[in-house]
Structure 1
Amino acid sequence: MKTGKKIAVLALIFVAAAIIYFVWPLGRKEENKTGVVYTAMSEAELPVVYPTALGRELAPLFGHREELAVTAERDSLLVLPEDRRLPIRIQYGDEIKTLQYEIRTMDMTHLVERTTVTDWTEENGQINAVLPVQNLLEPETQYQLGIQAVLSDGTSAWYYARILETDNDHAAQMLALAEDFSQKTFHYDSAQELTTYMESTPSADNSSFGTVTLKNSFTQMTWGSLGVSRGETVFASLKELSGDLANIELEYYVTREADGGAGGMDGGETEVYGVTENFTLKWSSQRIYMMDYERTMNQLFSGSRELFSGKRILLGISDGDGLYAKKSESGRYTAFVTNRELWAYDREEGNSICIFAFGGWNTDDLRAGRDRHGVEILEVSDGGTVDFLVYGYMNRGGREGYTGVSFYRYEAESNTLTEQFFLPAAEPYSELRLDLARLAHKGQNGIFYMYMGGSVYGIDLNSHEYVVVASGLDEERFAVSSDGSRLAWQEDTGIYDSRMLHIMDLDTGDKTQIGDGKSDAYRILGFVGSDCVYGIGEYGDHIISNGRTMGLYLKSLDIIDQNMASAMHYEKSGKYIRDVAVDESRIHLELVSDRDGGFFGEAEEETLVCNAKVLPGKMDDIGWYASDVRGRVYFVQLGQDISASQKIRTISPKKTVREENNEIHTEAQASGVEEKFYAYGRGRLIGIYSSFADAADAAYDPMGFVTFGKHDLVWERASRPGSYFIRDLNTATRKLDRYRTEFTGTSRREGDALLLDASGSSLNVALFFVCRNQPVLLYTGEGSFLYLTGYDQTHVRIWDPSAAQSMTIPMEEARARFESLGSDYICCLPL
C-alpha cells in the first residue's frame, strides 16, 4: 500500500511538472509579422507498440517517421512463437486506419514478406492484433520486422524490431532468471541466493550506486541503506540471442523518500531514479551462467530549492554518463546536462531554468522518457544565451518520430527557445552520438561544424546554407583538438598515400594546406592540446608484411601550434618512425633503422613530452562527495555561495520558436571508407572501428560482440567453450590458403567469406575463431607462419606447415611468444 501511494504521488508530481513546463502554454499559438510561429512543444502523439514474446509483454517499440529502418536502433529482438503468430498491443495516440507489416533481410535489400493485418480488435482506446508471419524464414536467422500504422491524417508511423525463429526456449528461461535476479535484489533475505552469481572483489569500487556489477559487494547489489521502492512496471528487452548466449535488459524506476541527510539534498521531497539492468547470460543443460551484469542508476533532477546548497547544485546518484556543465565568462549563468535534460542557473535572478526536457521516467506517458537522444552544450553567454544541440530520436514536438540534429538557442531575456535548424540523420542515435563526440563545434565565425557519416559539415547559422568541409573520413584520416576548435584531415586517398593534409581553425574558418600534392606522403597523427601532430614519409615507402600494407615509414614528425608555427620538429639521422601513438601530452615512437625488417624488424622506443596547454573539459565543473547513505553524490560546482535565504524560482521557456523551412537536407556523400567493425557490449553500441583488434578490445571486458558492417557477427567473447580442436584441418584451411596471398592488410568480403585481418588481437580473442572451426594463421616472420588449430584450459595446439607437424604449447608460453611476434593473425570466416 505504501509503495502504491509513492507511485501515485510520483505520478502527480510528473503531471504537475508537465503542466508547468509544457502543457500550460498549449493552444497558445502566436504569429508575428516575420512569419515566425511561436508555440509550446506539443505532447507525444505517435502510438506505441507492445509485442508479446518469450511468454510476456516486452518493452514497447516507438514510432519512426522514416521508412526502411535507416535510423532504427539494434534494440529489440523478438523470438517468434512456435506458430509464428506474433501478438502486439497498440496504445496511445491517433486513430489507426490500416495496419500492415513487412519482413526484410537484415541488410534491407530483400523483401521476404509484406502482409496487411486483418486480425485486430479495438477496445478501451487500444488495439490488439496478431501478425501472422508466414513460413518463409530461415531458422536461426535474424530478419528486420517493420510494422506500419497508417494514421487518421494519412501519415505513417513505423515500428522496427529484429525477429528470429528458433526451436528452443532457452531465451525465455534466461529472461525468467534475469527478472528473478532483479526482484531479489530488493529483498535482503532472498537476495542471499544471488551470491552464486556474484564475483565480489576487494578492488571493486563500492563508493557509488550509479554503476553496480557482479564484482561489487553484496551490500551494493542489494541497494545498501537507500530504502528504494520499485514501481510495478518493468520493461524487458531481449537485446541479442546467439545460440545459447543472450543479452537481456530490464528498465524501471525506483523512488526513495528523502530523509534529511547530509549534503543539503534530502529536504523531504521524493527522489526518483531511472534504473537499467543489463544481463549477459549463457544457457547450459545444467544451469544458466551469468557472464556479465551491470546496473546503472540515475537520479531525476527536479530543479527544486532543496538541490541548491552552498556552491553546489546537487544532481544526486548517477553513473556519470552524459553529465556536463559549462559556465558563461563571468559565471552568472551555469548550464548543465543531466539525464539528457538541459538546465541552467542564473545566480543574479535566482532562477533554475529547465531549458530543454522531453520528459522524465514518468508513469503517465512513457514516450517522453525514451532515452535515445542526447544534449550537447555549445556556448553560454553572460547575456543568458545558450546554444545547444539535441540529437537522436525526437520524443515529442513537431519532430516527433524523426532522428536528426536540432540546433537550439535559448535567450534568457525573452525566456524564449528557438530551433535554429533541424538536420535529418541517416543513422541511428547510437552512431550519431559517436559522430558528434568527434566534432560538434560552434565557431566564432558563426559557422557550426559537425562530423556525421564520414563527412564534416559547416552550417551557416544565419543563412542555414551548408558546405562539405571534408568527406570520406574515418578515425585514421582526421583528428580534432580536444576543445573542438581545430580540425586536421588527409586527402581522400589511401590512408598511407595522402600527398597533402589540411588544418583548419574552426573559430575563424582559416584553412592551411601542408604538402605540394606531388612528392612526400603525410599522416595525421592527432593533437596534443590544440597543437596538431603529423608525420612525413616518402610516398610509397610502405611497411610491408607478408604482402600486406601495415603502415608508412615516417622520416620526421612535426607539431604545429594554433598560429601554424612550428612547435616541434623531430627527425633522427638513420632512423625511421614505424609507429606513433599520441597520448595527451606524450607522443610514443617506435623507431627502426632497417626498413627491410618490415613489421617484424627490431625496433627501439622513444617518448616525446610536449608542453601542451590543458584545454577545458566537460567535467571540469562537475564534482562529487561521499554520502553515508547514498554513496557518491554528483553536483555542479558554482563560483559563489547561494545564500540560505535565497529563493530559487523554477521556470521554463514561455515560448518555443521555429521558423518555417528550417530543415537542412544534405546530399549523400560518397564515403570512400571501408566497411567497419561495430563493437557492442551491455546492450549498446560501444564504438565503430577500422581495426578488428580495436573493436574486439572494446567489447572484451563487457562480454560483448563484434560485427563486420552492421549485421554480420564475427566475434563474441562469452560463447567460447573451454576447449576445442579442429579435426579436418585440410578442409578448414582451404579458403584461407586460397586467399592468403591476396591479403592487402584490409579486412574485406570475398564472396561468402570475410578475409579478416586480426593483427594486434590478443590470443584469447583469436581462439574464438578456432572454436568456430576456423584455423587462425599466425605470421612468425616474413614468409613463415603457423596455424592455431585447437586449445583447452592450459594449452594451445598449433600446426607448423614448414615442419608438417602438430604440437601443443602451454597457454602462457604461447601468449608470450605470440605477442613477441607482433600478434599478427589473419583468418577467413564464412558469412
Structure 2
Amino acid sequence: MKKILRRIMILVLVFVAAVAAVLFLTRKKEQEVVYAVMDGATLPVVVMDFEGSAVNTLHGYTAAMDIPSMRDTITPIPADRKLPFCIKTYGNKIKSVEYDVRSLDGTNLIESKAVAALSGDSETVRGELILQDLLAKDTEYVLVIKVTTEKRDDICYYTRIRYYEDTHIGDQIAFAQNFSELAFSKTVNEELTIQLESSNDSDDSSLGYADIRSSYRHVTWGDLDPKRSGEIRVDIKEMNEMVGSIQLSYSVTAEGDSGKVETYRVKEFFCVRYVDGKLWLISYERTMDQAFEASDATVQDGSIDLGIISPSNLPIELQSAGDYTAFVADGELWGYNKKENEASKLFSFEEKNDDGIRTLYDQHKFRIINVDDSGNVAFTVYGYMNRGSHEGECGLAFYQYTRNDNAINEIFYIPSDKPYQVMKEEIGTLSYVGNNQLFYLMFGNSIYAIDFSGEEYVELISGMREDSFVISGDSSAVAWQEEEDIYGGKTIHVFYMDDGTTYTIEAPQGEVIRALGFIDGDFIYGRAKEADIERGNLVVNYPMYAIEIMGKDQKLQTTYHRDGIYIRDIQVEEGKIQLFREVRDGDGAWVAAEDDALIQNQINEEEKSVVVTRVSKIKKTTYGLDLASSDNKTKTLSITTPKEVAGNDSRVLKLTSTADAGKTTEKYYAYANGRLEGVYYSPAEAIDSIYDSMGVVIGSRQNYVWTRANRKTEALIDMESAPTAAAEGDRLAVCLSAMLSLEGRTADTVGELQAGKSAWEILNETMPGQAVDLEGCILNQMLYYVDRGYPVLAVTQGDKAELIVGYDIYKNLIIYDPLAGGTYLMSEEDAEEYYGSYGYPFVSWVR
C-alpha cells in the first residue's frame, strides 16, 4: 500500500491531459455511431425440484465466477441422492447438461458427469442429477450445472447442496407458505399471532417493511388489500438439522388511495426452527416496493410520486442540475425535465413481453455519477446483467446518456467474478467523479482512477488493509496509513478526488497517529504516545491523548485534548463527533470515562430536500420527489425511451492490483434475511451486524464462522487430560497447548510466544481449520464456539489466560484454570461484566 503522493499528482495531471485528448477524438467518432435498442434476454433459467415442488430459481452466468462467492441458495439432497431439475428454455434448444460438484472453496472437484437423459418440450426441459456416494453427510458442497444451447456453450448455474438423512426443510417451506397466506386474511388467526413477537417499539409506519416484532395488523397489510399476481418464487437460503431459512418472492396488486390498481414487488424471509416436533418462527422480514410507472397520475408539474419503498432502496439515488433530475425508482433509472414535463426511462432491464423471471431479477444497482444543465447523465450499472451485450455477466458498466441524441453510450465495462451481493459491498464503499473528469472506484482493496473514455486507468492506492484507511461520507476524499501495523502509524496520506489535492501528516518522535474519519471534508486523526500503547496477546489498547481536525487547506481546524483523559474511539455523526473516552484508575487499569462530543461551530443551512414523504390511510408512508413546479404548466407529460449504442467501441477494463499477492486479509461475510448484509475484517463486527436477525457469518474459504440459530442449552468440553501450569507466567502457553491437543496437534507454545507470536497466530498456523479473533464478541455470541466443541481462550490483564470450556442450564460458565488444573463456575452475569471490562478478549477456532 506504500505509494508516493507525488506519483498520484503526476498521474492526475497526466489523466487530465489524456481526458482532453480523448474527448476530442470521441467527438470525431460520434458522427459514425449507429443506435439500436438493447437486446432482449436470451438465457435459460434452471429451477431445482424438492419433494415435487419448484425451489431455487437459478440464473445463468456466461463468464467464470468465483465459486466460494456463489452461495445464494442451498438445495437439499434427498435420501436417494437424485436431484430433479427443469430448464425454462425461453426458445433455446438445449443440446446437453453437465454438472460439477466441488468443495465450498472450489478447490476440490468431487464429481463431474453429464446428465444422461433429458425430456420435455420446447418450453421446458427436465432432467435428473444422480449423485454418487462421495458426499459426506451434513457437509455443504457447490453444485455447478452447465447448460449448452445451440448458441452458447457452458452457461453455468450455481447452488450449494447438502445431504441429510432427515431434514425438516419441506415442513419449514410449508410453514412459510402458510404464514404468508394467512397474512392476506383480515381476520385474526391464532396460528399467525402466536408466531409473532409484536412490540410497541416497532416502527409500523411504512408498509415497505415488516418483521417479527411488527404488530399483527401491520403484518396483515393494514388497510391495504393486496392480491397475489403471478408465481411465488421459493428460494432456500440456509438449512441445518434444526433451522431452515426460506425466501418467498412474488408480486401483488392493490388499490391505492385514488382507487387505481397498483403493482408491488414483495419479498418475505423466514427463519424457522424445528424443536420437539414443532415449528417456530425465529426471524421474519417482509419488504415491499411499488412498481413505478410514469403517468399523469404519478408525475405532475415537478412532483413525482414513487409510492411505497422498502428500506433497502433508501435513500433514493438521485441527482439534479438545472431543470433536469435523474433518479432511481423500482430498479430503473429515470430522467425528468421539469421545464418540458418530460420523463425518460434512461435504463431498465425490464421487457414488456417477458415473464419477468429474468428481466426483473434485482441483483444490480445504479450509481448516478453526474447530471449537467443540458440533461446529459453519466451513470453506472453494476451487478448481474439481466440482458443486453453483457447478459449473464457480473460487472460494472459506465454509461453516458446524451439528451440531444436521446441515446445511451456504453463508455467502458469492468468484468467481475464476484456476484452482485459481494460487488455492492466493495463498489458501494467508493465510486466518485472528481471535477477533473476522472472516475474513482474502489474495486477489491484498491482505488483506481479511470478517465471518462475508458481508454486509461491507474491504480492509485493498492492493497488497503483493515482499519488502515477512511473515506469521507460523500466519497470525495480518502486518507490512508502507510504502515501495515495499524497501531504503529507514522505517516498518513490524504487525497481529495475533486481536484487532486494531497497532503501528508507525519507523527513526531515517540508518537503514532491514526486515521479516524472525515467531517464535512475535514480530516480527523488521533495522536497517541508510543509508551501508552499496551499490546496484550489478544487485545491492544490504543489510548489517544488528542484528536485533531485538519482542513483541506492543511490548516489545523481543531485540537481536542484533556489532561489525564484519553480517547479510545470516535463516531462521526451529522455536525458532531462523538468521543468515547477512558482514564486510568488508581491501580493503573483502563476504565471507561464519560463520553464527550465535538460540535461544529457552523452547520451549513440544509437545503430543502427534494425527497418528501406523505402519509395516507391505505398506503401509510409513501415517498416522492418535489422538484419545484415549472413556469410552463401547459405541457402534458411526454415519456421517452432512449436508444442504446449498438456495436460501439466500449472498452473492457480488467482491473488488476499490484498489491502483494502473497498477503491476504481474511474477510468475514455476514448473511441474514436472505442476503449479504456486509463484508467485514473483524469477526465481532460481522457477528454483531446480523446477531438480531439470526444470521450466519462465513469466512473467506466459505466455512461457517458463526451462526446463532442452533445453540444447545448446555455444553461441556472434556478437559480431563489438559496440562497444568507450573507458574502464573505459564498460563497462556499451557492454554494454547491444551487447545492444540484437542485437535491432535502440538507446538512449542512457550518458544513461539517468546518469539513474539500472538495466540491467534499460533492457533492459525497449527490448527486444521482457522483461528478466529473474537475480541469484542459478547458472551452469547462467543458461546457458539463452546457449543461446537471449541474452547475459547480468554486473556485478561497481565496476560492472565484461561479457557471457557462449557456452560450449564443455570446460566453459569465453566472455566478451566490452568494454574489450578481444574474448572470453576462463574455466573454469566459476572462473566459479562468481567470480560466486558477487558473488551471481551477472546479467541477460538473453527474447522
Q: What residue number does 1:326 align with?
A: 318
Alpha-carbon offset, residue 210 of structure 1: 0.7
Alpha-carbon offset, residue 162 of structure 1: 0.7
Q: Residues of 2 paired with 1:758 and 1:108: CA distance?
A: 27
Alpha-carbon offset, residue 673 of structure 1: 4.5
Q: Are residue 665 (structure 1) and residue 654 (structure 2) matched?
A: yes
Using a 3 Å threshold, how does the CA distance of structure 1 residues 154 and 301 change in structure 2: closer, same or farther?
Answer: closer
Q: Are residue 560 (structure 1) and residue 550 (structure 2) matched?
A: yes
Using a 3 Å threshold, how does the CA distance of structure 1 residues 620 and 785 change in structure 2: closer, same or farther?
Answer: farther
CA contact (8 A) 2:98 2:112 kept: yes
Deviations 1:762-783 (A, max 9, x none): 1111122222222323333213
Structure 2 unpaired stretches of 5+: 1-27, 724-734
Alpha-carbon offset, residue 169 of structure 1: 2.7
Q: Residues of 2 paired with 1:784 and 1:744: CA distance?
A: 13
Alpha-carbon offset, residue 669 of structure 1: 4.3
Q: Which of 694, 697, 708 lines up with 1:706 in the alignment?
A: 697
TM-score (norm 1): 0.88
CA contact (8 A) 1:351 1:650 kept: yes
Q: Which of 624, 635, 643 lines up with 2:624 in the alignment?
A: 635
Alpha-carbon offset, residue 727 of structure 1: 4.5
CA contact (8 A) 2:143 2:159 kept: yes
CA contact (8 A) 1:390 1:407 kept: yes
Q: What residue number does 1:165 align with?
A: 163
Q: Residues of 1 paired with 2:71 and 2:813: CA distance?
A: 37
Amino acid at match of 2:222: G
Q: Which of 48, 58, 64 lines up with 2:55 in the alignment?
A: 58
Q: What residue number does 2:71 align with?
A: 74
Q: Which of 540, 554, 560 lines up with 1:550 in the alignment?
A: 540
Deviations 1:301-353 (A, max 9, x none): 011110124653111112132242434243x1122112221112110111111
Q: Which of 129, 134, 137 lines up with 2:135 in the alignment?
A: 137
Q: Residues of 2 paired with 1:508 and 1:122: CA distance?
A: 61
What is the number of residues matched between the two proteins? Answer: 789
Using a 3 Å threshold, how does the CA distance of structure 1 residues 416 and 492 change in structure 2: closer, same or farther?
Answer: farther
Using a 3 Å threshold, how does the CA distance of structure 1 residues 391 and 480 change in structure 2: closer, same or farther?
Answer: same
Q: What residue number does 1:501 align with?
A: 492
Identity percentage of aligned residues = 30
Q: Are residue 289 (structure 1) and residue 280 (structure 2) matched?
A: yes
Q: Are residue 206 (structure 1) and residue 204 (structure 2) matched?
A: yes
Q: What residue number does 2:37 align with?
A: 40
Alpha-carbon offset, residue 71 of structure 1: 8.7
Amino acid at match of 1:789: V
CA contact (8 A) 1:212 1:295 kept: yes
Alpha-carbon offset, residue 96 of structure 1: 2.6
Provide the secondary structure at the position in 1 that maps to 2:112. Answer: strand
Amino acid at match of 1:664: L
Q: Are residue 456 (structure 1) and residue 447 (structure 2) matched?
A: yes
Using a 3 Å threshold, how does the CA distance of structure 1 residues 588 and 655 change in structure 2: closer, same or farther?
Answer: same
Q: Which of 735, 742, 757 lines up with 2:739 in the alignment?
A: 735
Q: What residue number does 2:680 align with?
A: 689
Q: Residues of 1 paired with 2:593 and 2:458: CA distance?
A: 44
CA contact (8 A) 2:671 2:696 kept: yes
Q: Residues of 1 paired with 2:352 and 2:425: CA distance?
A: 24
Q: Which of 237, 240, 244 lines up with 1:246 in the alignment?
A: 244
Q: Are residue 821 (structure 1) and residue 838 (structure 2) matched?
A: yes
Using a 3 Å threshold, how does the CA distance of structure 1 residues 488 and 816 change in structure 2: closer, same or farther?
Answer: same
Q: What residue number does 2:813 align with?
A: 797
Amino acid at match of 2:614: Y
Show the 5 A alignment for 1:101-112.
101-112=99-110
Q: What residue number does 1:344 align with?
A: 335
Deviations 1:234-283 (A, max 9, x none): 1101101122111111111111134xx2xxxx363x31111101011111
Q: What residue number does 2:375 align with?
A: 384
Deviations 1:684-710 (A, max 9, x none): 111111211111110101111112225
Amino acid at match of 2:839: G
> What is the root-mean-square deviation of aligned Cα atoms in Å?
3.1
CA contact (8 A) 2:454 2:653 kept: no
Q: What residue number does 2:8 align with?
A: none
Q: Residues of 2 paired with 1:618 and 1:140: CA distance?
A: 56
Alpha-carbon offset, residue 293 of structure 1: 0.5
CA contact (8 A) 1:292 1:703 kept: yes
Larger mean CA deviation between 736-745 and 689-698 belongs to 736-745
Alpha-carbon offset, residue 361 of structure 1: 10
Amino acid at match of 1:194: L
Deviations 1:438-469 (A, max 9, x none): 11101110100011111111101135311111
Structure 1 unpaired stretches of 5+: 1-30
Q: Residues of 2 paired with 1:689 and 1:167: CA distance?
A: 35
Q: Residues of 2 paired with 1:237 and 1:617: CA distance?
A: 44
Q: Are residue 769 (structure 1) and residue 785 (structure 2) matched?
A: yes
Deviations 1:731-790 (A, max 9, x none): 697226878854356794643133222111111111222222223233332132443333
CA contact (8 A) 1:743 1:755 kept: no
Alpha-carbon offset, residue 360 of structure 1: 7.7
Using a 3 Å threshold, how does the CA distance of structure 1 residues 183 and 267 change in structure 2: closer, same or farther?
Answer: closer
Using a 3 Å threshold, how does the CA distance of structure 1 residues 108 and 583 change in structure 2: closer, same or farther?
Answer: same
Show the 5 A alignment for 1:317-716.
317-323=308-314, 324-330=316-322, 332-359=323-350, 364-462=355-453, 464-491=455-482, 493-515=484-506, 521-537=512-528, 542-545=533-536, 547-548=537-538, 550=540, 552-554=542-544, 556-571=546-561, 577-584=567-574, 585-592=576-583, 601-602=590-591, 604-605=593-594, 607-611=596-600, 620-640=609-629, 646-656=635-645, 659-670=648-659, 672-716=663-707
Using a 3 Å threshold, how does the CA distance of structure 1 residues 654 and 362 change in structure 2: closer, same or farther?
Answer: closer
Alpha-carbon offset, residue 639 of structure 1: 2.4
Q: Residues of 2 paired with 1:466 and 1:176: CA distance?
A: 52
Q: Residues of 1 paired with 2:329 and 2:168: CA distance?
A: 38
Larger mean CA deviation between 232-241 and 64-73 belongs to 64-73
CA contact (8 A) 1:309 1:642 kept: no
Q: What residue number does 1:95 align with?
A: 93
Q: Residues of 2 paired with 1:731 and 1:722: CA distance?
A: 24
Q: What residue number does 1:174 align with?
A: 172
CA contact (8 A) 1:253 1:361 kept: no
Alpha-carbon offset, residue 608 of structure 1: 4.1
Q: Residues of 2 paired with 1:132 and 1:103: CA distance?
A: 11
CA contact (8 A) 1:71 1:429 kept: no
Using a 3 Å threshold, how does the CA distance of structure 1 residues 685 and 229 change in structure 2: closer, same or farther?
Answer: same
Amino acid at match of 1:811: E
Alpha-carbon offset, residue 677 of structure 1: 1.6
Q: Residues of 1 paired with 2:470 and 2:654: CA distance?
A: 25
Deviations 1:575-610 (A, max 9, x none): 66544444452141435569996xx53454553414
Alpha-carbon offset, residue 34 of structure 1: 5.7
Q: Residues of 2 paired with 1:807 and 1:619: CA distance?
A: 62
Using a 3 Å threshold, how does the CA distance of structure 1 residues 286 and 771 change in structure 2: closer, same or farther?
Answer: same
Amino acid at match of 1:53: F
Amino acid at match of 1:385: N
CA contact (8 A) 2:412 2:454 kept: no
Q: Residues of 2 paired with 1:811 and 1:160: CA distance?
A: 43
Q: Residues of 2 paired with 1:622 and 1:750: CA distance?
A: 55
Larger mean CA deviation between 451-460 and 733-742 belongs to 733-742
Q: Residues of 2 paired with 1:430 and 1:771: CA distance?
A: 30
Alpha-carbon offset, residue 725 of structure 1: 3.5
Q: Residues of 1 paired with 2:467 and 2:605: CA distance?
A: 24
Deviations 1:61-92 (A, max 9, x none): 11101225459542111111222221111112
Provide the secondary structure at the position in 2 that maps to 1:405. Answer: strand
Q: Which of 795, 798, 804 lines up with 1:782 in the alignment?
A: 798
